[in-house]
A and B are shown apart, each in its own frame.
Chain A
Amino acid sequence: MPEQQVPEGLIPHRGPARLVQTILEDPRPDVLFCGGRMPADSAFVASGRAPAVVLLELAAQAAAVQQAMAAPAGGTPAKPGYLVAIRAASLSADDVPAGVRLTATVRRTGQAGPLATYDVTVTGPDGQPIVSASLSTHAGE
């Protein structure tokens, strides 16, 4: 599939809180590749760099995109979801430059009602992993 912008209303993140930008590939119903970056005007960017741990938010947003794409089309507005747990997160860098192209890969590993679990990886422009983890999310009320 050609790379496409994440539709504005698909997830509720806006402005500097919106890290995920594009859908790169959805090879299976439970797997999604997204493009993104750290916005220069993010609250977490100082001197042009952000702590690498913030990239877990990019992964969580990619998971929210996957969840929204998997939901039946109903035209309901995107509602806030919540990150409820992180397990086995590993970081290979301490910080990352703002604006650099990043890729988030998410694979849904479980779903029970509003709760879902994902294995996630965020890679840099060189394709090397910067952060990986297992995330648990709640779809919200």
Chain B
Amino acid sequence: MIFDGLTIVEEAADAAGWRARLRLETSSRAFAGHFEGQPILPGVAILVIVRHALRAMGGRATTLQALPSVRFRHAVRPGDVLEVLAARPDAEGLSRFEVKVGGALAVTGMALASRDA
């Protein structure tokens, strides 16, 4: 489990990186209190998914050390299906990632994995 109420529909890692389709259940506690009557996913939830992706590629000892840049473009809501792509970290440990909802970019960014990734 990555976090409560996030269902992994598909997940695969290959030489290019980690790809997944993830469904946000309407019952997810990630929406509880965020916000009443207007539920949206906290942006940091996407970063928890990125942390999971780095571990899926580099092993459980891999840690998220830095986020040079992240841009949140669209709100993510209950029932949304996320299409996530995290590129395999380059020689400097940097991984580019993007999250799409309904084909539209919702979040983009770069993450730095620990050197043992």
Whether B70 contacts A85 by the Cβ 8 Å rule is yes
Whether B32 contacts A17 by the Cβ 8 Å rule is yes
> Total contacts A to B, CB within 8 angstroms?
102
CB closest chain-A residue, reference B34 = A17
The interface residues of chain A, by DSSP majority, are classed as: mixed
Q: For residue B66, which residues in chain A have a CB less than 8 angstroms away from its CB?
A: 88-91
Q: State whether the Cβ of A48 lies closer than 8 Å to any Cβ in chain B.
A: no
Whether B48 contacts A15 by the Cβ 8 Å rule is no
With A16-B32, A53-B47 as contacts: A87 and B68 at CB distance below 8 Å: yes
The stretch of B35-43, B77-85, B92-100 that contacts the partner chain = B35-43
Closest 9 CB pairs of A and B: A14-B33, A17-B33, A15-B33, A17-B34, A43-B29, A89-B67, A43-B4, A43-B30, A86-B70
Chain B residues engaging chain A, CB cutoff 8 angstroms = 1, 3-5, 28-30, 32-36, 38, 40, 42-45, 47-48, 51, 63-72, 75, 109
Chain A residues engaging chain B, CB cutoff 8 angstroms = 12-18, 41-44, 46, 51-54, 56-57, 60, 80, 82-91, 94, 133
